[in-house]
Structure 1
Amino acid sequence: MSAPSAVRPTRIRLRPWQSEALERFADTSGPDFLAVATPGAGKTTFALTAAVQDLADNPGRRLVVVAPTQHLKHQWSRAALRLGLHLDPDWSARDGELPGDMHGIVTTYQQVATSSRVLAGLARGAFVVFDEIHHAGDDRAWGESVLEAFGGAARRLSLSGTPFRSDTSAIPFVDYHLDEARADYEYGYGQALADRGVVRPVYFPRINGFMEWVAPDGEVLSATFDDELAREQANQRLRTALSLEGQWLPAVLDQAQERLVELRRHHPEAGGLVIAMDQAHAQDIARVLRERHGVRAVVATSDDPDASDHIASFAASADPWIVAVRMVSEGVDIPRLRIAVFATTTTTELFFRQAVGRVVRWTPGLHGPGSRTQPAWFFLPDDPRLRRYSAELSESRRHSLRRRRDREELDSDRPDEIDAHDLGDDEQMSLFSVIGAVAIDGDDADGRGGAAGSGPGGLGVFDDDPDDPGDRHAPEGVELVLLPPPLPGGGHVVVPADGGSGAGGSG
């Protein structure tokens, strides 16, 4: 590609937090920077803007992005292209050197674990972005590989959608205080709500139920979500509720479908997500939606080689439902999702917050009832662990809206992270069996002192109270003029005469 005679500026309208974080990043003298920003706030745009500036100041410097999944590699590549950055999402260690017409690559943490030595040469002196850096701690070998591959990078920008801890081994390039990752810049859900037009308010209908099951030792047990149980029995209770052998989950799907139909009257593209326990569970949920409501749900599971294509197709369509296990739980950008059903036994706080992040993304340009607030609903079992997590987010929402309303009028301890997949070995699980599960109504469910409402079908719905949202509109943001970075070899990115895509802050 021949270099143009003049370099045209690209204008990017940043959200206020992105501009502030960018200034702080530029003022940081060390190589490492951790930005924690709530899902949907625009971490991708912030990181790519920082990369564009850095590459413009350092001709010939390469860019490496490390993402959690294969699907997100292509999502990052497309987002980078909107800012004039050419990143190869299909690079592998067999390719060796970077093609001359590319600024860099997008890889995954899993690839880093098998290609750390090759990446170490490619990333020496590079600008590196770690998307959802906590994944480097998923496996000890991954953390060691990340350290080996990127220890020689010039700048390392780590991103996360939620604060995280290091309960086992520290993640490379992250500073800690009392086992908690110390962020250089943090932008929380409450702040994003207060800024208006950044994220949606999320409401959490928590559905109680009566579950009955046979424990692995043969004992017949029954309980509601109000009953205090030991960890193992609480896990069994949750799995019983989510089993399609009972009626709890079908009843909740009915309620979620009714809410989605109502939303689609004014937002026809609105979609719903069900997060399932496993691949078989996902297929069964899709079958229930088809048989009870006559809707075809897209199923995206990791065993399907075309899963990424299914997700991309769903994102671009107006199809009502997608059912996934983990593939859509983190990072995947489908702004039209307004409904979610949490039907998985994975109950760590980090996973829960990332899952909620799938429905918080703001959609500009909506009109009609609810368009000023774009509320989303996240249906979940009234399991005590999930109840605690949702309560924290709900309080952030209420506090943000109260604070804004007041401004307009004038002018527990950290819960333990428990994964309910930990139910013992396969032999013990084979002895576990579901007898039945039913959702129970608000009068039966209201035993905790909180307000119980009546949802569709008479089910108990908690935290479904309407907040007074005040006026919500898109933030003005800050205009920033960037020079397109040079291509390797001395050329420059050719930017259209209209100033480029004018990427917004929604990445």
Structure 2
Amino acid sequence: MKLRKWQIDCVQHALQLYNEQQHFMCLATPAAGKTLMAAELSRCLLKSNKIDFILCFSPSAEVSNSIRATFSKRLGNEFNGMMGSIGNALTYQSMASLSPSFWRLLSSHRVMVIMDEVHHLKGHEFATPNAWGEEVLTHIQNKAAYTLALSGTPWRSDKAPIVLSKFTEPDNTIHCDFVYGLHNAIEDGVCRTPRITLVDNDNIHLTEDIESHTFNSISALLDGSSFNYSALLHHPEVMLYLLSLGVNKLTETRALSPNAGGLVVATSIQHALRLYDMLVNDFGQSACLVNSQMKHPSSIIEHFRFNDTQWIVSVGMIAEGTDIPRLQVCCHLSRIKTEMHYRQVLGRVLRVDDSRNKVAWLFTLAEPSLIQFAYNVDTDLPDGGSVVFEQNTQSIDLSISSGSQHANNPQNYEDKPESFHVANEVILKLGPRELQSKHCCVEEEANYNLAMLGDFKQQIVRLFG
């Protein structure tokens, strides 16, 4: 596989710095090809007889499997930890179960240790690490011949320091030895251009018992009432509308790229089941489900990677490092509202393949944090990007009745699916096509009634041109 220019530059820079230091930190935008760069760097160190073995650690089994395949192909050798192999890829979770004899390899041999998505490792001293960070500080720091840290999002949501990282004064930001940003990746044709669509509504009526309030945006609703974001994500018409945008865009994309796929990021297993049901029964789409409670989630992901199923609905499985280049559209309905998670989800649809389409779409609600994250991606540009506001004139009527405890505690939506049953019929108007779908409301004495009577508006953040 031919290396990209940034990968060649990064390898050369790392080889130079390794003459002076043992650790190298690479920040490259999600989907840029960090694993291949790491494999090439390892190949160069092996060729120059500076290392004997390579150990790679990552946050999930899916990513570890992908690393094994990439390293084996690039190095021309087995990479599975078995006799005769040149190394292995393991998860951070497995560190605690590795035997003392395993860790002694770092003292008896020259080992290159690669830590993928290093932001998972908290701590720069023994007083503050998390479990994974402590394993690195105990067994790897000052013992590995060389270490390589990789990340697409070089910060933690809790703002804690990242293990083995150097920090710059006075703002205590992380020091990266090599940086390859999204702007560069798009200019080089390494990543697709993102289009982030923020969906809002300008006429929301909320009734609690006998009190009624009207809000002109989702932000105003969340700020001015106890109806929270997670409850909104479970609203049938919100789910239907976001999915309709994704389905329409994927249909348009597949006209150019017949194998293009879509990702739906759900907030819980029950939520994922409802979204899956809507995709299949309301929109007539082909889809599959994947979550951590399934027996063989890695097999489901691997099968989807190479087939032509339109959608995969995931609860935390299609995350950082998961390599599915045919993903080009994403509906983000997760309750997680951290910038790290947001960028990792966006990265799942940025990876290029040989298709004609070079644009990636992310659909999400116009929740205040998510709005800010979208514009933060925009401001990563050295020369700034452009933001275009568009209003969708399609009309939509929707309502939901729920107990006040559901507005305050959306866990009731997720953990008690039996509390839902068919109680009303809702019609979603989508231009020439009209979809009828039966959805539920929850019977409670004291209840909220949410009616979004205004037009859904779309603010489309057009990045990089």
Instruction: Pick the TM interval, shorter chain.
Output: 0.7 to 0.9
CA RMSD of aligned residues (A): 3.2
Provide, for residues 15-54 of structure 1, a one-character-per-residue CA deviation record: whole Å limited to 9, x for no partner. Answer: 2211111111011121111100001111011111001111
Within the candidate set 322, 339, 357, 1:332 is matched to: 322
Which amino acid in 1 is paired with 2:346? Answer: V
- CA 43–428 in structure 1, closer or farther in 2 if over 3 Å, else same: closer
Within the candidate set 249, 259, 262, 1:272 is matched to: 262
Correspondence 1:257 to 2:250: no
- Give the equivalent residue in structure 1 for 2:166: 175
- CA 23–218 in structure 1, closer or farther in 2 if over 3 Å, else same: farther
| Deviating more after overlay: 132-141 vs 281-290 | 132-141
Does the Cα contact within 8 Å between 2:196 and 2:462 map onto a contact in 1? Answer: no
Q: Structure 1, unaligned stretches of length 5 or more?
A: 1-11, 90-97, 403-422, 442-458, 469-507
Which amino acid in 1 is paired with 2:459? Answer: F
SS at match of 1:389: helix
Q: CA deviation at 1:165?
A: 4.6
| Deviating more after overlay: 217-226 vs 60-69 | 217-226
Q: CA deviation at 1:433?
A: 7.8
C-alpha separation between the residues in 1 aligned to 2:262 and 2:84?
Answer: 39
Correspondence 1:375 to 2:359: yes
- Give the equivalent residue in structure 2 for 1:135: 120
- CA 260–172 in structure 1, closer or farther in 2 if over 3 Å, else same: same
SS at match of 1:164: coil
Which amino acid in 2 is paired with 1:201? Answer: T
Does the Cα contact within 8 Å between 1:289 and 1:297 map onto a contact in 2? Answer: yes
SS at match of 2:147: strand
- Give the equivalent residue in structure 1 for 2:182: 189
Does the Cα contact within 8 Å between 2:51 and 2:145 map onto a contact in 1? Answer: no
Within the candidate set 332, 356, 360, 2:350 is matched to: 360
Provide, for residues 84-138 of structure 1, a one-character-per-residue CA deviation record: whole Å limited to 9, x for no partner. Answer: 354555xxxxxxxx53311111111111133273442233330011000011229
- Give the equivalent residue in structure 2 for 1:13: 2
Percent identity reads 26
- Give the equivalent residue in structure 2 for 1:239: 230
SS at match of 2:84: coil
Q: CA deviation at 1:149?
A: 2.3
Q: CA deviation at 1:323?
A: 0.5
Within the candidate set 293, 308, 313, 1:303 is matched to: 293
- Give the equivalent residue in structure 1 for 2:370: 386
- Give the equivalent residue in structure 1 for 2:135: 145
- CA 183–433 in structure 1, closer or farther in 2 if over 3 Å, else same: farther
Q: CA deviation at 1:232?
A: 9.5
Which amino acid in 2 is paired with 1:463? Answer: I
C-alpha separation between the residues in 2 aligned to 1:286 and 1:342?
Answer: 14
Does the Cα contact within 8 Å between 1:275 and 1:329 map onto a contact in 2? Answer: no
C-alpha separation between the residues in 1 aligned to 2:461 and 2:207?
Answer: 33
Correspondence 1:248 to 2:238: yes
Does the Cα contact within 8 Å between 1:335 and 1:363 map onto a contact in 2? Answer: yes
- Give the equivalent residue in structure 2 for 1:201: 193
Q: CA deviation at 1:248?
A: 1.1
Q: CA deviation at 1:220?
A: 8.1
- Give the equivalent residue in structure 2 for 1:115: 98
Task: Count how many residue pairs are aligned between Structure 1 and Structure 2.
Answer: 401
- CA 318–30 in structure 1, closer or farther in 2 if over 3 Å, else same: same
- CA 247–88 in structure 1, closer or farther in 2 if over 3 Å, else same: same
C-alpha separation between the residues in 1 aligned to 2:286 and 2:414?
Answer: 32
C-alpha separation between the residues in 2 aligned to 1:434 and 1:322?
Answer: 32
Q: CA deviation at 1:163?
A: 2.6
C-alpha separation between the residues in 1 aligned to 2:383 and 2:101?
Answer: 49
C-alpha separation between the residues in 2 aligned to 1:276 and 1:439?
Answer: 25
Which amino acid in 2 is paired with 1:136? Answer: L
SS at match of 1:208: strand
C-alpha separation between the residues in 2 aligned to 1:146 and 1:231?
Answer: 45
Residues 400-411 of structure 1: pairs in structure 2 closer than 5 A: none
Provide, for residues 294-340 of structure 1, a one-character-per-residue CA deviation record: whole Å limited to 9, x for no partner. Answer: 12311110111211111111010111000101110211111111100
Which amino acid in 1 is paired with 2:220? Answer: D
C-alpha separation between the residues in 2 aligned to 1:166 and 1:285?
Answer: 27
- CA 240–188 in structure 1, closer or farther in 2 if over 3 Å, else same: same
Does the Cα contact within 8 Å between 1:191 and 1:400 map onto a contact in 2? Answer: no
Q: CA deviation at 1:75?
A: 0.7
- CA 81–122 in structure 1, closer or farther in 2 if over 3 Å, else same: same
Does the Cα contact within 8 Å between 1:202 and 1:394 map onto a contact in 2? Answer: no
Does the Cα contact within 8 Å between 2:58 and 2:115 map onto a contact in 1? Answer: yes
C-alpha separation between the residues in 1 aligned to 2:97 and 2:293?
Answer: 21
Within the candidate set 277, 284, 292, 1:287 is matched to: 277
C-alpha separation between the residues in 1 aligned to 2:248 and 2:206?
Answer: 29
Does the Cα contact within 8 Å between 1:87 and 1:103 map onto a contact in 2? Answer: yes
- Give the equivalent residue in structure 1 for 2:46: 55
Greater RCO structure (CA 8 Å; 6+ sep):
1
C-alpha separation between the residues in 2 aligned to 1:218 and 1:136?
Answer: 50
Does the Cα contact within 8 Å between 2:378 and 2:463 map onto a contact in 1? Answer: no
C-alpha separation between the residues in 1 aligned to 2:322 and 2:254?
Answer: 22
- Give the equivalent residue in structure 2 for 1:227: 220
Which amino acid in 2 is paired with 1:46? Answer: M
Which amino acid in 2 is paired with 1:44? Answer: T
- CA 166–310 in structure 1, closer or farther in 2 if over 3 Å, else same: closer
Does the Cα contact within 8 Å between 1:260 and 1:271 map onto a contact in 2? Answer: yes
- Give the equivalent residue in structure 1 for 2:304: 314
Which amino acid in 2 is paired with 1:294? Answer: G
C-alpha separation between the residues in 1 aligned to 2:382 and 2:9?
Answer: 25
Does the Cα contact within 8 Å between 2:30 and 2:344 map onto a contact in 1? Answer: yes
Q: CA deviation at 1:256?
A: 1.0
C-alpha separation between the residues in 1 aligned to 2:87 and 2:314?
Answer: 31
C-alpha separation between the residues in 2 aligned to 1:171 and 1:59?
Answer: 27
Provide, for residues 415-468 of structure 1, a one-character-per-residue CA deviation record: whole Å limited to 9, x for no partner. Answer: xxxxxxxx8897999999874464852xxxxxxxxxxxxxxxxx4211255975
Q: CA deviation at 1:58?
A: 2.2
C-alpha separation between the residues in 2 aligned to 1:360 and 1:297?
Answer: 20
C-alpha separation between the residues in 1 aligned to 2:413 and 2:265?
Answer: 25
C-alpha separation between the residues in 1 aligned to 2:83 and 2:457?
Answer: 60
SS at match of 2:98: helix
Correspondence 1:41 to 2:32: yes
Which amino acid in 1 is paired with 2:308? Answer: A
